[in-house]
Structure 1
């Protein structure tokens, strides 16, 4: 007679496991983005290769947008102790 993991956990008075979030086990490169996007730039960097020009431009745009969104928080941290507590 075989019992499942969840049944054993319940018999011990513990919570049964919940399915994990994210990609299914064994899946890789789900939704690979084409060159000229920030994820493609990161793929170049993880492969330890020089990024192509479209990916470099996508990285520049990404960081410009990030800085514009976080500008006030960055400036405030520079004024008061460099953001350290």
Structure 2
């Protein structure tokens, strides 16, 4: 990013040409199915009721926003890995 050359980011993966991806493996949720009941970090989209979004108050929200800013990508797929299927 030319206007802020001191910023850096390392997304976990790229999504096509337009997105970045971030994977989290929280130990405290390792044996849980992640879903709408995890309101500490998930909010359901009002426009698309089957889509879960990361809450703006969650600590990883700003990490993801920074990755999108530095890479110039318009979206991020945020993945929470657990040992449970959904």
- TM-score per shorter chain, which class? under 0.3
- Flag the structure with higher helix content: 1
Between 1 and 2, higher relative CO (CA 8 Å, sep ≥ 6) is seen in 2
Q: Greater Rg, structure 1 or structure 2?
A: 1
TM-score by length of 1: 0.23
